[in-house]
């Protein structure tokens, strides 16, 4: 195949006959992006939810205590949950579960949902 094709013929062979100016679709896409631009940036923050069974008296009635920790370490999350339970005057506790939880956080500093 020794034919020498012009650039327009090569483009037509590869992409088909595209009519119209090239710049219009880019401008339309830019206006669509501006129309759907979110006002606030939201992101997901991962936390650990610790569930404890707590009592104030030895072998007394058990309550379920949940604590959300902003750390990814299970040991630190357990320690924070136990400290929070002690603040609420619970003396005896048993760790039931430590599970990861996704929380939606808004882009505004200091605001959490």
Provide the domain limits for residue 78. 44-104
**What is the total count of domains within the chain?**
1
List, for residues 63-97, the tens digit of each pLDDT value.
999 999 998 899 999 999 999 999 999 999 999 99
Position 109 in a domain: no
pTM: 0.53
Position 61 in a domain: yes
List, for residues 18-77, the tens digit of each pLDDT value.
665 554 555 556 665 566 555 555 556 678 999 999 999 988 899 999 999 998 899 999
3-state per-residue secondary structure call for the chain: CCCCCCHHHHHHHHHCCCCCCCHHHHHHHHHHHHHCCCCCCEEEEEEEEEEEEEECCCCCCCEEEEEEECCCCHHHHHHHHHHHHHHCCCCEEEEEEEEEEEEEEECCCCCCC
Position 76 in a domain: yes
Position 25 in a domain: no
Domain CATH number, residue 78: 3.10.20
Position 77 in a domain: yes
Position 86 in a domain: yes
Position 50 in a domain: yes
């Amino acid at each position: 195949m020794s034919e020498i094709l012009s650039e327009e013929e090569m483009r037509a062979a590869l992409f088909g006959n595209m009519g119209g100016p090239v710049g219009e679709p880019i401008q339309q896409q830019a206006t669509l992006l501006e129309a759907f631009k979110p006002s606030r940036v939201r992101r997901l923050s991962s936390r650990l939810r610790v569930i404890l069974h707590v009592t104030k008296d030895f072998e007394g009635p058990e309550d379920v205590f949940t604590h959300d920790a902003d750390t990814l370490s299970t040991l630190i999350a357990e320690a924070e949950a136990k400290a929070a339970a002690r603040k609420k005057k619970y003396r005896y506790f048993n760790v039931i579960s430590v599970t990861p939880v996704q929380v939606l956080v808004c882009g505004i500093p200091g605001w959490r949902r």
